[in-house]
Chain A
Amino acid sequence: MLRKPLAFLKKDFITESSYNLNFLFNFAGILTSILGYFFINKLFGNRMVGHLEEFGVNYFSYVLLSMAFFGYVGVGLSSFSEHLRNEQVQGTLEAVLLTPTGISTILLSLSLWNLVLATVDMAVYILFAIFLFKINFSNVNIISTIVVFALTIISFSSLGILSACFIMVFKRGNPFGWLVASLEGLIGGVYFPITVLPGWVQLLAKFFPITHAIRAIELAVYRGYDLKQLSGEILSLLIFSAVLAPLSLAAFKHSIKRARREGSLIQY
């Protein structure tokens, strides 16, 4: 059962590791982005104290966790369309679709490597946070954190699969992916708590899974909230997952069928 996803993982590892410098620059990129927020915090951190009271941390701790988390779950948002496009351009998508491999297996396998890389990135974020910036994670509620992670990954992956449908049908230009990725970051509370935003934008933000996910993860990690205390956020994420997961799979099956009807499966 795992042979096909593992074959994808091995193939992607061999491919990516043949580009040696990629790994190195990735970690350097994480450190420079963290340092940027570290100094922003020094300059403006005090102005955010009121907005961060419920999380019980300073701006730097807040943004470091939300960026690490968003970087991880954001993989689900971009990796399906990215990998699908790569396979289309390489010409390998046709060969993969010729094999008796289910669509859901192909989709899962396409993003597996990015998920592994994101896990490594996340670990690097946490190591920097603990050892370099001395951030305290001792209050973390492990169960709540795992549940929030799982539900957010399902929601984001579903949005990512919907985004991949655009690539399958229109080849280039993915307005859905762009819209979701930009708005999620901007109004979902990744770079600042949403209480900074005007009231109507805060209301709009409630319709994005990331808003609930960021709030839940900050509270689970820094305040140790349990599942009951996070029930509102978890229910919202559950609803997003229950609606988006089947919808995205059905949409992707439909987009493949449409591409087969149009004969455009390998066009790019």
Chain B
Amino acid sequence: MEVKDVTKDFIPAFSFTELLKFNFKRASTTRAIDGLSFTLNKGSSLAILGPNGAGKTTLLKILSTLILPDKGSVKINGSYLDVQDEKIKASIGFAGAAERSFYWRLTGRQNLEFFSAMYGLDKAAASSRICALFKLFGVTYQDKRFDSYSAGMQQKFALMRALIHDPPILLLDEPTKSLDYASSLELRSFIKEVLVKKQRKTLVFTTHQMDEALGFADMLMILHYGRLFAYGTLEELRRKAGMPGGSLGEIFIRLAGGSVPC
């Protein structure tokens, strides 16, 4: 995965009340990502850290083809964004932080069947894949309507959907956000042992939790105001922060805490 000099500005839409005042000037743009470049090797796992509004989710959505950057280039699994989007989509699995993205009148299984068809799996392949995922995630209530699942179970389904076509790359936006402590530990262990160690997936995930980042990421990125403040292994980040032996939390505060760019 190669990201070169990517910049993304968000332009606010015209406000109707401002138009009524004959004010046709748009509000100023918000720079979400500012000249970001990095390379991630196949099979590596990257944790993106940063305060709220740092650009973590925007970066993840750019990598998943949902948002187009204004400048720069993105190459994923040998394909370029905005040129070979279909190939990129086939090679990534994305699980967002807010799981509103399922059909609530359908059961969990019916949802997975629908999305497996969207990923081009035939009926037999979809059936065995769904069965394997239910076993892997220990899901017993497979035929309940989606709106009756707990937040934790919905998060599991989001992850199962991201894995349905067995993609080599996984993009996860705060994967343990809505989970209780036990479920969170269980999911972290699953990601580390199965997805990272056993299946050697390339993993990019956002998180606010330092222990989660250290739990299964070999590369760490600190974003702030859309800029790359630090990128590398824990040791490299310690050197950059001038804190040998410092914890990730201390390094994060040193590098990203309180600095407001002009």
Contacts and interface: CB of A to CB of B under 8 A. Distances in A.
A148 B88 CA distance: 41
A54 interface: no
A14 B108 CA distance: 13
Interface of A: 3-4, 6-8, 10-11, 14-15, 18, 90-92, 94-102, 257, 260-266
Interface in B2-20: 8, 10-11, 13
Interface residues of B, number: 39
Interface of A is mostly: helix
A91 to B, nearest CB: 3
A263 B61 CA distance: 9
Contact of B161 (A7, A95, A263): A95
Contacts of A11: 103, 106, 110, 114
Contact of B66 (A4, A7, A90, A265): A265
22 contacts: A7-B117, A7-B118, A11-B103, A11-B106, A90-B100, A90-B103, A92-B102, A96-B118, A97-B66, A98-B92, A100-B87, A101-B118, A260-B65, A260-B67, A261-B70, A262-B10, A262-B11, A263-B58, A263-B61, A263-B66, A263-B67, A265-B67
Interface in B42-56: none
A258 to B, nearest CB: 9
A187 B54 CA distance: 54
Given A11-B103, A15-B105, A90-B104, A100 B66 contact: no
Contacts of A7: 113-114, 117-118
A95 B70 CA distance: 23
B86 interface: yes
Contacts of A14: 105-106, 110
B80 interface: no
B149 interface: no
A97 B119 CA distance: 11
